[in-house]
Structure 1
Amino acid sequence: MKTISCMNIDESLLYSFGAEGRDYKKRETVFKEEDHALYYFQIREGKVKLNNYNENGKEFIHNILGKKQSFGEAMLFLSQDYPINAVCLEDSQIIRLPKNNFFEMLSQNPNLSLEMNACLSQEVYYKLKMMQGLASQNPMQRLKGLLDYLKSYHDEDCHHCFHIAFTRQQIANLTGLRVETVIRTLKKMEKEGSITLQDRKILY
Protein backbone atom coordinates (compact mmCIF):
# COMPACT_ATOMS: atom_id res chain seq x y z
CA MET A 1 0.00 0.00 0.00
CA LYS A 2 1.38 3.38 -0.98
CA THR A 3 1.15 5.94 1.79
CA ILE A 4 1.78 9.63 2.41
CA SER A 5 5.25 10.66 3.50
CA CYS A 6 4.25 13.01 6.33
CA MET A 7 4.83 15.94 6.21
CA ASN A 8 6.95 17.85 3.71
CA ILE A 9 5.96 21.47 3.17
CA ASP A 10 7.84 23.45 0.52
CA GLU A 11 10.72 25.22 2.24
CA SER A 12 10.21 28.51 0.40
CA LEU A 13 6.62 28.59 1.66
CA LEU A 14 7.76 27.97 5.23
CA TYR A 15 10.33 30.76 5.02
CA SER A 16 7.77 33.13 3.48
CA PHE A 17 5.70 32.74 6.66
CA GLY A 18 8.62 33.47 8.97
CA ALA A 19 10.32 30.11 9.45
CA GLU A 20 13.98 29.94 10.45
CA GLY A 21 16.60 27.28 9.91
CA ARG A 22 18.59 26.05 12.88
CA ASP A 23 21.63 23.80 13.16
CA TYR A 24 21.69 21.13 15.86
CA LYS A 25 24.57 18.97 16.99
CA LYS A 26 24.41 15.22 17.44
CA ARG A 27 22.63 14.37 20.73
CA GLU A 28 21.28 17.94 21.05
CA THR A 29 17.67 18.20 22.23
CA VAL A 30 15.17 19.97 19.96
CA PHE A 31 12.48 19.87 22.64
CA LYS A 32 11.94 17.85 25.78
CA GLU A 33 9.01 16.29 27.56
CA GLU A 34 6.69 18.90 29.14
CA ASP A 35 8.04 21.77 27.01
CA HIS A 36 5.33 23.99 25.53
CA ALA A 37 4.57 23.26 21.86
CA LEU A 38 5.59 26.46 20.11
CA TYR A 39 6.82 25.41 16.63
CA TYR A 40 6.24 23.27 13.57
CA PHE A 41 9.49 21.38 12.88
CA GLN A 42 10.68 20.00 9.54
CA ILE A 43 13.99 18.20 9.01
CA ARG A 44 16.15 19.61 6.22
CA GLU A 45 19.12 17.34 6.91
CA GLY A 46 19.85 14.77 9.58
CA LYS A 47 17.89 12.42 11.83
CA VAL A 48 15.76 12.96 14.94
CA LYS A 49 14.47 10.39 17.40
CA LEU A 50 11.30 10.84 19.43
CA ASN A 51 11.61 9.13 22.79
CA ASN A 52 10.91 9.09 26.48
CA TYR A 53 11.99 7.08 29.52
CA ASN A 54 10.06 4.98 32.01
CA GLU A 55 10.39 5.25 35.78
CA ASN A 56 13.36 2.86 35.68
CA GLY A 57 15.20 4.98 33.14
CA LYS A 58 14.65 2.60 30.23
CA GLU A 59 14.39 4.36 26.90
CA PHE A 60 11.39 3.85 24.62
CA ILE A 61 11.77 5.19 21.07
CA HIS A 62 8.53 6.24 19.38
CA ASN A 63 9.99 6.98 15.98
CA ILE A 64 13.12 8.02 14.12
CA LEU A 65 12.58 10.61 11.39
CA GLY A 66 14.80 11.89 8.61
CA LYS A 67 15.11 14.38 5.78
CA LYS A 68 11.87 16.08 4.62
CA GLN A 69 9.85 14.75 7.54
CA SER A 70 8.13 16.79 10.22
CA PHE A 71 7.39 16.31 13.91
CA GLY A 72 5.56 17.93 16.80
CA GLU A 73 2.67 19.39 14.79
CA ALA A 74 -0.08 17.38 16.51
CA MET A 75 0.61 19.17 19.81
CA LEU A 76 0.08 22.56 18.11
CA PHE A 77 -3.54 21.61 17.37
CA LEU A 78 -4.10 20.34 20.91
CA SER A 79 -2.29 23.20 22.72
CA GLN A 80 -0.65 20.52 24.87
CA ASP A 81 2.88 20.18 26.17
CA TYR A 82 5.09 17.62 24.48
CA PRO A 83 4.71 14.09 25.94
CA ILE A 84 8.06 13.07 24.39
CA ASN A 85 11.59 14.29 23.70
CA ALA A 86 13.04 15.08 20.28
CA VAL A 87 16.79 14.42 20.11
CA CYS A 88 19.14 14.64 17.12
CA LEU A 89 20.88 11.37 16.24
CA GLU A 90 23.37 13.24 14.04
CA ASP A 91 24.23 16.81 13.14
CA SER A 92 20.97 18.17 11.72
CA GLN A 93 19.44 21.18 10.03
CA ILE A 94 15.86 21.78 11.13
CA ILE A 95 13.39 24.39 9.93
CA ARG A 96 11.02 25.66 12.59
CA LEU A 97 7.92 27.79 12.10
CA PRO A 98 6.26 29.57 15.05
CA LYS A 99 2.84 28.25 16.01
CA ASN A 100 0.83 31.37 15.06
CA ASN A 101 2.62 31.61 11.70
CA PHE A 102 1.93 27.92 11.14
CA PHE A 103 -1.82 28.38 11.55
CA GLU A 104 -1.75 31.49 9.37
CA MET A 105 -0.02 29.47 6.65
CA LEU A 106 -2.68 26.74 6.88
CA SER A 107 -5.52 29.26 6.73
CA GLN A 108 -4.09 30.75 3.54
CA ASN A 109 -3.34 27.36 2.00
CA PRO A 110 -6.37 25.08 2.52
CA ASN A 111 -4.73 22.31 0.48
CA LEU A 112 -2.08 22.05 3.19
CA SER A 113 -4.77 21.62 5.84
CA LEU A 114 -6.20 18.68 3.93
CA GLU A 115 -2.77 17.13 3.55
CA MET A 116 -2.04 17.69 7.23
CA ASN A 117 -5.32 16.01 8.18
CA ALA A 118 -4.44 13.03 5.97
CA CYS A 119 -0.99 12.78 7.56
CA LEU A 120 -2.27 12.98 11.12
CA SER A 121 -4.99 10.42 10.36
CA GLN A 122 -2.41 8.10 8.81
CA GLU A 123 -0.17 8.46 11.84
CA VAL A 124 -3.02 7.61 14.23
CA TYR A 125 -3.98 4.57 12.14
CA TYR A 126 -0.50 3.10 11.95
CA LYS A 127 0.24 3.99 15.57
CA LEU A 128 -2.81 1.94 16.57
CA LYS A 129 -1.64 -0.91 14.36
CA MET A 130 1.79 -0.76 15.99
CA MET A 131 0.24 -0.71 19.47
CA GLN A 132 -1.70 -3.86 18.56
CA GLY A 133 1.62 -5.49 17.73
CA LEU A 134 3.25 -4.26 20.93
CA ALA A 135 0.39 -5.76 22.95
CA SER A 136 1.24 -9.17 21.54
CA GLN A 137 3.54 -11.52 23.43
CA ASN A 138 4.76 -12.81 20.06
CA PRO A 139 8.06 -11.03 19.16
CA MET A 140 7.42 -11.51 15.44
CA GLN A 141 4.07 -9.74 15.69
CA ARG A 142 5.73 -6.89 17.57
CA LEU A 143 8.42 -6.51 14.92
CA LYS A 144 5.94 -6.74 12.04
CA GLY A 145 3.77 -4.02 13.61
CA LEU A 146 6.82 -1.78 13.92
CA LEU A 147 8.05 -2.43 10.38
CA ASP A 148 4.60 -1.70 8.93
CA TYR A 149 4.48 1.53 10.93
CA LEU A 150 7.92 2.69 9.79
CA LYS A 151 7.24 1.83 6.16
CA SER A 152 4.01 3.86 6.30
CA TYR A 153 6.07 7.07 6.47
CA HIS A 154 7.70 6.46 3.10
CA ASP A 155 6.70 6.24 -0.53
CA GLU A 156 8.22 2.87 -1.36
CA ASP A 157 5.51 0.51 -2.61
CA CYS A 158 7.48 -2.66 -3.17
CA HIS A 159 8.52 -5.97 -1.65
CA HIS A 160 11.75 -6.10 0.38
CA CYS A 161 13.05 -2.75 -0.90
CA PHE A 162 12.40 -0.49 2.12
CA HIS A 163 15.55 -0.13 4.22
CA ILE A 164 14.87 -0.13 7.98
CA ALA A 165 17.69 2.24 8.89
CA PHE A 166 17.71 1.40 12.60
CA THR A 167 20.19 -0.52 14.70
CA ARG A 168 19.10 -3.71 16.47
CA GLN A 169 19.31 -1.77 19.76
CA GLN A 170 17.01 0.97 18.44
CA ILE A 171 14.52 -1.65 17.27
CA ALA A 172 14.65 -3.19 20.73
CA ASN A 173 13.92 0.21 22.27
CA LEU A 174 11.03 0.71 19.85
CA THR A 175 9.42 -2.64 20.66
CA GLY A 176 10.33 -3.23 24.29
CA LEU A 177 12.18 -6.45 23.37
CA ARG A 178 15.66 -7.56 24.31
CA VAL A 179 18.33 -7.07 21.65
CA GLU A 180 18.99 -10.82 21.60
CA THR A 181 15.28 -11.46 20.95
CA VAL A 182 15.27 -8.92 18.11
CA ILE A 183 18.28 -10.56 16.43
CA ARG A 184 16.83 -14.05 16.78
CA THR A 185 13.38 -12.97 15.52
CA LEU A 186 14.79 -11.10 12.52
CA LYS A 187 16.66 -14.22 11.45
CA LYS A 188 13.46 -16.24 11.78
CA MET A 189 11.55 -13.63 9.73
CA GLU A 190 14.22 -13.86 7.04
CA LYS A 191 13.84 -17.64 6.86
CA GLU A 192 10.08 -17.24 6.49
CA GLY A 193 10.53 -14.67 3.70
CA SER A 194 9.09 -11.68 5.57
CA ILE A 195 12.29 -9.64 5.30
CA THR A 196 15.68 -9.71 3.62
CA LEU A 197 18.90 -9.30 5.61
CA GLN A 198 21.70 -7.96 3.43
CA ASP A 199 25.06 -6.86 4.87
CA ARG A 200 23.32 -6.28 8.24
CA LYS A 201 20.70 -4.13 6.50
CA ILE A 202 17.03 -4.98 7.05
CA LEU A 203 14.96 -4.75 3.87
CA TYR A 204 11.17 -4.90 4.23
Structure 2
Amino acid sequence: MKTFSKDAIIFNEAEMPKFYYQLKSGKVKMFNLTEEGKEFTQGFFEKNTSFGEPPLFGTFEYPASAMCLTDCEVYVLEKKMFLNLLKAHPDIHLKFTKMLCNRMLYKAKIMKELSIHPPEHRILTLLHHLKDSANIESLYEVKLTRQQISDLTGLRVETVIRAIKQLEKTKKLILKQRKVYI
Protein backbone atom coordinates (compact mmCIF):
# COMPACT_ATOMS: atom_id res chain seq x y z
CA MET A 1 0.00 0.00 0.00
CA LYS A 2 1.31 3.42 -0.95
CA THR A 3 -0.25 6.84 -0.39
CA PHE A 4 -0.13 9.67 -2.90
CA SER A 5 -1.16 13.28 -2.35
CA LYS A 6 -3.56 15.17 -4.57
CA ASP A 7 -1.82 16.24 -7.83
CA ALA A 8 0.95 13.64 -7.38
CA ILE A 9 2.11 11.91 -10.55
CA ILE A 10 2.08 8.12 -10.16
CA PHE A 11 3.82 7.50 -13.48
CA ASN A 12 4.69 9.53 -16.56
CA GLU A 13 4.04 8.92 -20.22
CA ALA A 14 7.03 7.17 -21.87
CA GLU A 15 8.24 5.52 -18.63
CA MET A 16 8.66 1.75 -18.61
CA PRO A 17 6.14 -0.02 -16.34
CA LYS A 18 7.39 -1.69 -13.19
CA PHE A 19 4.23 -2.04 -11.11
CA TYR A 20 0.54 -2.96 -11.17
CA TYR A 21 -1.60 -0.21 -9.60
CA GLN A 22 -5.06 -0.52 -8.03
CA LEU A 23 -6.89 2.19 -6.12
CA LYS A 24 -8.02 1.45 -2.61
CA SER A 25 -9.33 5.01 -2.26
CA GLY A 26 -9.24 8.25 -4.20
CA LYS A 27 -9.48 9.21 -7.85
CA VAL A 28 -6.85 9.14 -10.63
CA LYS A 29 -6.87 10.45 -14.18
CA MET A 30 -4.76 9.25 -17.06
CA PHE A 31 -3.91 11.91 -19.61
CA ASN A 32 -1.65 13.08 -22.41
CA LEU A 33 -0.31 16.55 -23.08
CA THR A 34 0.02 17.87 -26.62
CA GLU A 35 3.08 19.86 -27.71
CA GLU A 36 0.97 23.00 -27.16
CA GLY A 37 0.26 21.92 -23.57
CA LYS A 38 -3.39 20.97 -24.17
CA GLU A 39 -4.50 18.05 -22.05
CA PHE A 40 -6.44 15.06 -23.37
CA THR A 41 -7.89 12.79 -20.69
CA GLN A 42 -7.75 9.08 -21.44
CA GLY A 43 -9.84 8.08 -18.43
CA PHE A 44 -10.79 8.49 -14.78
CA PHE A 45 -10.32 5.73 -12.23
CA GLU A 46 -11.88 5.42 -8.77
CA LYS A 47 -11.58 3.09 -5.79
CA ASN A 48 -11.29 -0.63 -6.47
CA THR A 49 -10.19 -0.09 -10.08
CA SER A 50 -6.79 -0.68 -11.60
CA PHE A 51 -5.04 1.47 -14.18
CA GLY A 52 -2.01 1.45 -16.45
CA GLU A 53 -1.97 -2.31 -17.05
CA PRO A 54 -1.52 -2.76 -20.84
CA PRO A 55 2.21 -1.91 -20.80
CA LEU A 56 2.74 -4.66 -18.19
CA PHE A 57 1.70 -7.21 -20.80
CA GLY A 58 3.13 -5.58 -23.90
CA THR A 59 6.46 -4.49 -22.44
CA PHE A 60 6.11 -1.00 -23.88
CA GLU A 61 6.21 2.46 -22.33
CA TYR A 62 3.19 4.04 -20.67
CA PRO A 63 1.14 5.77 -23.40
CA ALA A 64 -0.18 8.31 -20.85
CA SER A 65 0.59 9.80 -17.44
CA ALA A 66 -1.38 9.08 -14.25
CA MET A 67 -2.12 11.82 -11.73
CA CYS A 68 -4.04 11.80 -8.44
CA LEU A 69 -7.11 14.04 -8.45
CA THR A 70 -7.52 13.47 -4.71
CA ASP A 71 -5.36 11.99 -2.00
CA CYS A 72 -5.08 8.30 -2.90
CA GLU A 73 -4.25 4.97 -1.34
CA VAL A 74 -2.90 2.65 -4.00
CA TYR A 75 -2.01 -1.02 -3.95
CA VAL A 76 1.31 -1.33 -5.75
CA LEU A 77 2.47 -4.77 -6.87
CA GLU A 78 5.73 -5.49 -8.65
CA LYS A 79 5.21 -6.51 -12.29
CA LYS A 80 6.69 -10.00 -11.87
CA MET A 81 4.51 -10.72 -8.83
CA PHE A 82 1.42 -9.47 -10.67
CA LEU A 83 2.07 -11.70 -13.68
CA ASN A 84 2.72 -14.69 -11.39
CA LEU A 85 -0.58 -14.00 -9.62
CA LEU A 86 -2.44 -14.10 -12.94
CA LYS A 87 -0.71 -17.35 -13.95
CA ALA A 88 -1.65 -18.96 -10.63
CA HIS A 89 -5.30 -17.81 -10.79
CA PRO A 90 -6.85 -18.29 -14.26
CA ASP A 91 -10.26 -17.08 -13.02
CA ILE A 92 -8.75 -13.71 -12.02
CA HIS A 93 -6.82 -13.62 -15.29
CA LEU A 94 -10.06 -14.11 -17.27
CA LYS A 95 -11.87 -11.32 -15.36
CA PHE A 96 -8.89 -9.08 -15.92
CA THR A 97 -8.85 -9.87 -19.66
CA LYS A 98 -12.56 -9.03 -19.92
CA MET A 99 -11.97 -5.71 -18.18
CA LEU A 100 -9.14 -4.86 -20.59
CA CYS A 101 -11.35 -5.76 -23.56
CA ASN A 102 -14.05 -3.37 -22.30
CA ARG A 103 -11.47 -0.59 -22.06
CA MET A 104 -10.29 -1.34 -25.61
CA LEU A 105 -13.90 -1.13 -26.82
CA TYR A 106 -14.24 2.26 -25.13
CA LYS A 107 -11.02 3.50 -26.79
CA ALA A 108 -12.22 2.33 -30.21
CA LYS A 109 -15.58 4.08 -29.74
CA ILE A 110 -13.99 7.32 -28.59
CA MET A 111 -11.45 7.37 -31.44
CA LYS A 112 -14.28 7.06 -33.96
CA GLU A 113 -16.29 9.74 -32.19
CA LEU A 114 -13.40 12.20 -32.07
CA SER A 115 -12.68 11.83 -35.74
CA ILE A 116 -16.08 12.06 -37.44
CA HIS A 117 -19.07 12.85 -35.24
CA PRO A 118 -20.64 16.10 -33.98
CA PRO A 119 -20.47 17.03 -30.27
CA GLU A 120 -23.90 15.69 -29.28
CA HIS A 121 -23.10 12.29 -30.75
CA ARG A 122 -19.68 12.19 -29.03
CA ILE A 123 -21.23 13.00 -25.67
CA LEU A 124 -24.04 10.46 -26.03
CA THR A 125 -21.57 7.73 -26.99
CA LEU A 126 -19.49 8.47 -23.89
CA LEU A 127 -22.54 8.54 -21.59
CA HIS A 128 -24.03 5.35 -23.03
CA HIS A 129 -20.67 3.61 -22.63
CA LEU A 130 -20.52 4.67 -18.96
CA LYS A 131 -24.07 3.45 -18.37
CA ASP A 132 -23.39 0.13 -20.12
CA SER A 133 -20.18 -0.34 -18.13
CA ALA A 134 -22.08 0.24 -14.90
CA ASN A 135 -24.63 -2.44 -15.94
CA ILE A 136 -27.53 -0.12 -15.16
CA GLU A 137 -30.75 -0.46 -17.13
CA SER A 138 -32.73 2.22 -15.30
CA LEU A 139 -31.97 5.94 -15.17
CA TYR A 140 -28.20 6.43 -14.80
CA GLU A 141 -26.67 9.45 -13.06
CA VAL A 142 -23.52 10.61 -14.86
CA LYS A 143 -20.88 11.24 -12.20
CA LEU A 144 -18.69 13.40 -14.46
CA THR A 145 -18.46 17.18 -14.42
CA ARG A 146 -18.88 19.16 -17.64
CA GLN A 147 -15.10 19.69 -17.56
CA GLN A 148 -14.46 15.94 -17.30
CA ILE A 149 -16.83 15.26 -20.21
CA SER A 150 -14.92 17.91 -22.14
CA ASP A 151 -11.59 16.28 -21.29
CA LEU A 152 -12.83 12.83 -22.36
CA THR A 153 -14.35 13.96 -25.66
CA GLY A 154 -11.83 16.56 -26.78
CA LEU A 155 -14.53 19.25 -26.80
CA ARG A 156 -14.43 22.68 -25.18
CA VAL A 157 -16.44 23.01 -21.95
CA GLU A 158 -18.69 25.61 -23.56
CA THR A 159 -19.45 23.17 -26.39
CA VAL A 160 -20.28 20.43 -23.88
CA ILE A 161 -22.65 22.74 -22.00
CA ARG A 162 -24.47 23.74 -25.23
CA ALA A 163 -24.61 20.14 -26.47
CA ILE A 164 -26.03 18.85 -23.17
CA LYS A 165 -28.76 21.51 -23.29
CA GLN A 166 -29.55 20.49 -26.88
CA LEU A 167 -29.66 16.81 -25.89
CA GLU A 168 -32.09 17.67 -23.11
CA LYS A 169 -34.32 19.58 -25.56
CA THR A 170 -34.42 16.54 -27.85
CA LYS A 171 -35.13 14.30 -24.82
CA LYS A 172 -31.98 12.19 -25.29
CA LEU A 173 -30.96 12.86 -21.69
CA ILE A 174 -32.42 14.42 -18.55
CA LEU A 175 -31.10 17.31 -16.49
CA LYS A 176 -32.14 17.46 -12.82
CA GLN A 177 -30.55 20.03 -10.51
CA ARG A 178 -27.59 20.42 -12.92
CA LYS A 179 -26.98 16.65 -12.91
CA VAL A 180 -27.08 14.64 -16.11
CA TYR A 181 -29.10 11.41 -16.34
CA ILE A 182 -29.39 9.02 -19.22
User: What range is the shorter-chain TM-score in?
Assistant: over 0.9
2:139 maps to which residue?
160
Q: Which residue identity lines up with residue 144 of structure 2 in the other structure?
A: F
User: Counterparts of 1:124 and 1:48 in 2: how far apart (Å)?
Assistant: 19
- RMSD over aligned Cα atoms: 1.4
Q: Which runs of 5+ in 1 are unaligned?
A: 1-20
Aligned partners of 1:65 and 1:80: how far apart in 2?
21
**Superimposed CA distance per residue, residues 56-85 of structure 1 (whole angstroms, 9 cap, x where no aligned partner):** 110101111111111011110001110101
Aligned residue pairs: how many?
Answer: 182
- Give the 5 Å matches for 1:1-204: 21-155=1-135, 157-161=136-140, 163-204=141-182
**C-alpha distance in 1, partners of 2:100/2:35?**
29
Q: Give the 3 Å change call, closer, same or farther, for CA 127–152 of structure 1 in structure 2.
A: farther
Q: 5+ unaligned residues in a row in structure 2: which ranges?
A: none
Offset of residue 50 of structure 1: 0.6
CA distance in 2: counterparts of 1:87 and 1:47, whole angstroms: 9
What are the Cα deviations for residues 109-149 of structure 1, in whole angstroms up to 9, with x where unaligned? 01111111111112112221122211224111111222233
Tell me, in whole angstroms, the C-alpha distance in 2 between the residues paired with 1:150 and 1:61.
15
Identity %: 37
Higher relative contact order (CA 8 A, sep 6+): 1
CA–CA distance in 2 between the matches of 1:159 and 1:84? 34
From the superposition, tell whether residues 95 and 152 of structure 1 become closer, same or farther in structure 2 (CA, over 3 Å).
Answer: farther
Counterpart contact for 2:110–2:153, Cα < 8 Å: no
